Amino acid sequence: MYRPGTLYTKEPVTTFDHDFWSLGHGKVIPHGIYDCQQNRGHITLGNSKDTSEFACESLKNWWNNYGKATYPNANSILAKCDGGGSNNANHYIFKEDLQKLVNEIGIEIRIAHYPPYTSKYNPIEHRLFPHITRACQGVIFTSLELVKALVEKTQTKTGLSVAVNILNKVYQTGRKVADNFKNTMQIVFDEYLPKWNYRAVPQPE
């Protein structure tokens, strides 16, 4: 896969000047979480599809592996998300997967979506992603393991570090929300801008 930028090599590296799926041997689907308090990034690399299930599983892995140990007294997680993509504010399938997630991990998750054209104000966009891009510049991606090694090297003078997890799982696309979910869902919408702000609260079995 072609990557912009320059790097030092011992011999010339050749690649196509455009990316063609038909010529690829796989794919890399990244999902990023940035912990503002710890200045730490958590990147999940998938090789399937960018779905709501993938986004929620990435959040679950962050919580189980890092979050609950770092914040043992937390009773709520605030996730600042874009308005589109796998965590689309308009898609009930994301809310359904989010409800399943909180029921499993047992802690409330508060979602704050950035409306269209405002995601540039999300801290992850300027505190994490540009530095990951710099760590990967000029390198030809040939495997998930290579991408993992490159991203883990991401650091800044202000102490940014990045942990990377590979999620080797196939995710189904085109999933539909359960027939009765909209009528029975327990998502709590805020009074102010409810389309963009809501909470998923763990429900008893």
Q: DSSP letter string over 128-187?
A: THHHHHHHTTTPPP--HHHHHHHHHT---TT--EEEEEEE-----SS----TTHHHH---
The phi and psi torsions of 171 (rounded to 5 degrees) equal -110, 135
pLDDT on residue 15: 77
Mean pLDDT value across residues 7-25: 77
SS3 62: helix
Return the minimum-mean-pLDDT range out of 22-26, 27-31, 36-40, 70-74.
22-26
What mean pLDDT do residues 148-170 have? 96
Phi-psi region of 126 (alpha: psi -120 to 50; beta: other; left: phi over 0): alpha
Please report which helix (H) or strand (E) contains residue 14, including its range.
none
Say which amino acid occupies 157. K
Integer Rg of the chain from CA? 18
29-55 pLDDT tens trace: 999 999 999 999 999 999 999 999 999
Q: What is the pLDDT of residues 84-134, one digit of tens each?
A: 889 999 999 999 999 999 999 999 999 999 998 999 999 999 999 999 999
| pLDDT, mean over the chain | 92
Q: How confident is the model at residue 205 (pLDDT cuts 50, 70, 90)?
A: low
pTM of model > 0.95: no
pLDDT of residue 2: 57
Domain coordinates of the chain in residue numbers? 27-200
- By C-alpha distance, which of 44, 27, 1, 19 is closest to 136? 1
CA distance 13 to 2: 10
Q: Is the pLDDT of residue 167 over 60?
A: yes
List the single range of 6-10, 43-47, 142-146 with lowest mean pLDDT. 6-10
pLDDT given for residue 52 in this prediction:
96
